[in-house]
């Protein structure tokens, strides 16, 4: 349990700005200019989020993404490539290792953080909820409803993931080269290995889903203090936008791979 965790719901934001915002909040927490933070957000339009170490050329159908005007954003977090849109709530739990009682070993971070989603899903009336310890996702009835990723750097942990309210399988299948890569073995089509809240519980709004998710994390963390982003964090995120739009950052892993191959 940790205390003085602030809760910030940034709502729907530009997909590229969201990538920069995560780095900005991490920096503020690192420098003790912000409390340990649970951040909720969602992209306001379809966006592809690439894990820090992943290569665009291996993960993304770039031609299709460009044709559909769907940006590729490299996260600071590790993990797999995800297709996200406004029908998801994305969470990031960002905290300093030195002044919290939360775990910092990667497997322990996943195990602990994902309990917040399990609590939320059970509060929604779902029983067959489990954490997949191999892929570190949350599953309902054997189907994935939340993926996750994390980074530990400069004394700060950032553990994040998705909470699917609805899902556009057609768009994801078009822009990802291997849509079932991060699903359980034997799944041939993503829609057979994934699920979402509106399939499981019926009509539910993003706002209602976020309320349940917040409740799950509040139980996990022993309470939350409602807050907003500081001017420092917002300014920092905007200053990072050029980096997140640059080819050098987006294709960072591809460029390094090509250099090693020469």
In Å, what is the CA distance from 236 to each residue of 24, 130, 152, 243?
6, 37, 20, 12
Closest Cα partner for 159 from 81, 84, 82, 92? 92
pLDDT-derived band at 101 (thresholds 50, 70, 90) equals: confident
Residues 190, 195: Cα–Cα separation, whole Å: 9
pLDDT of 2 > 70? The answer is no
**Cα–chain center distance at 61:** 21
Q: Tell me what the mean pLDDT of segment 133-161 comes to.
A: 95
What global pTM score does this model have? 0.95
pLDDT of 99 > 80? The answer is no
Closest Cα partner for 35 from 1, 7, 5? 5
Per-residue tokens: 262: 């020469």
**Cα–chain center distance at 167:** 15
Per-residue tokens: 197: 């809240």
> What is the tens place of the pLDDT at every residue in 34-61?
999 999 999 999 999 999 999 999 999 9
> What is the tens place of the pLDDT at every residue in 190-239?
999 999 999 999 999 999 999 999 999 999 999 999 999 999 999 999 99
Buried b (16+ CB within 10 A) or exposed e, 11-36: eebbbbbbbbbbbbbbbbbeeeebbb
Q: Which domains does the chain have, with CATH numbers?
A: 6-261 (3.30.930.10)
Closest Cα partner for 239 from 24, 81, 73? 24
Residue 163 phi/psi, 5° resolution?
A: -135, 105
The pLDDT assigned to 3 comes to 55
pLDDT-derived band at 1 (thresholds 50, 70, 90) equals: very low
The pLDDT assigned to 262 comes to 65
Lateral strand order in the sheet of 88-96: 148-153, 156-164, 88-96, 37-43, 6-13, 225-226
Closest Cα partner for 7 from 105, 111, 108, 116? 116
């Amino acid at each position: 349990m940790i205390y003085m965790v602030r809760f910030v719901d940034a709502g729907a934001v530009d997909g590229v700005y969201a990538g920069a915002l995560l780095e900005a909040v991490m920096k503020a927490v690192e420098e003790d200019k912000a409390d340990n933070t649970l951040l909720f957000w969602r992209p306001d339009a379809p966006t592809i989020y690439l894990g820090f170490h992943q290569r665009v050329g291996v993960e993304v159908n770039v031609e299709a993404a460009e044709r559909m005007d769907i940006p590729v954003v490299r996260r600071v977090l590790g993990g797999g490539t995800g297709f996200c849109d406004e029908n998801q709530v994305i969470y990031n739990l960002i905290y300093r290792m030195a002044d919290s009682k939360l775990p910092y070993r990667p497997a322990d971070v996943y195990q602990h953080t994902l309990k917040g989603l399990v609590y939320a899903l059970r509060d929604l009336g779902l029983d067959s909820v489990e954490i997949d310890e191999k892929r570190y996702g949350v599953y309902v009835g054997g189907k994935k409803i939340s993926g996750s990723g994390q980074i530990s750097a400069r004394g700060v942990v950032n553990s994040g993931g998705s909470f699917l309210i609805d899902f556009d399988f057609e768009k994801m299948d078009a822009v990802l080269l291997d849509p079932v890569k991060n699903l359980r073995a034997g799944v041939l089509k993503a829609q057979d290995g994934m699920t979402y809240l509106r399939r499981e519980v019926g009509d539910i709004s993003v706002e209602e889903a976020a309320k349940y998710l917040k409740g799950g994390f509040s139980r996990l963390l022993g309470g939350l203090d409602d807050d907003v982003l500081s001017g420092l964090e917002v300014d920092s995120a905007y200053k990072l936008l050029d980096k997140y739009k640059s080819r050098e950052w987006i294709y960072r892993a591809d460029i390094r791979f090509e250099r090693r191959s020469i």
